[in-house]
Amino acid sequence: MVVKDENGERIRFGRAQKFRLSPKGSEAEAAYTLMVAKARDGEGRAQFDSARSAWSTPLGLTPEDGLFLVEFGQGERTIAEAVRGLDNCATPKEVKVAVERLLECGMLEPVPAAPVEPAAPPRRYW
């Protein structure tokens, strides 16, 4: 996966890279969850689609992004873990594209790698 940083430099993330919601992403996920709860009282799919569009447009997201925000709201995830969690709702390619889009708009952030502990010095037997 390739994303650009603030200088336009390409950032590559490995397969083991985990992502989590940013504070902005947490707010968007909470608004999406509330929108879904309100839409359940509605008249059907057309009203749900309309509510998703009303939620996503001011945030600069696609209506499908709510699904990805909810998945990453469950905790830190790699792309492969998100694909498994979405269970036939999105292909790996769709999840990867969504993660790139959500990183660019500040809804997701990469989880910093854990610090590597230095190896113990070798034992000397003399």
**Does the reported pTM lie above 0.85?**
no
In-domain check, residue 115: no
Q: Mean pLDDT across the chain, nearest whole number?
A: 86
In-domain check, residue 46: yes
Q: What is the pLDDT of residue 40?
A: 81
In-domain check, residue 125: no
Distance CA 14, CA 104 (A): 17
- Total of domains in the chain: 1
Measured torsion, CA atoms of residues 65, 69, 22, 108, in degrees rounded to the nearest 10: -60
In the block, which residue shows the tokens 């509330």?
A: 34
Q: Domain residues for 65?
A: 17-110
In-domain check, residue 69: yes
- What is the sign of the dihedral through the CA atoms of 62, 85, 95 and 45? negative
In-domain check, residue 87: yes
How many CA atoms lie within 13 Å of 30's alpha carbon, on the beta-carbon side? 7
Q: What is the pLDDT of residue 99?
A: 94
What ranges make up the beta strands (E) of 7-71?
Answer: 10-12, 19-21
**Over the chain (126 residues), what is each successive 10-residue block's mean pLDDT?**
59 85 94 88 81 90 93 93 90 92 93 79 79
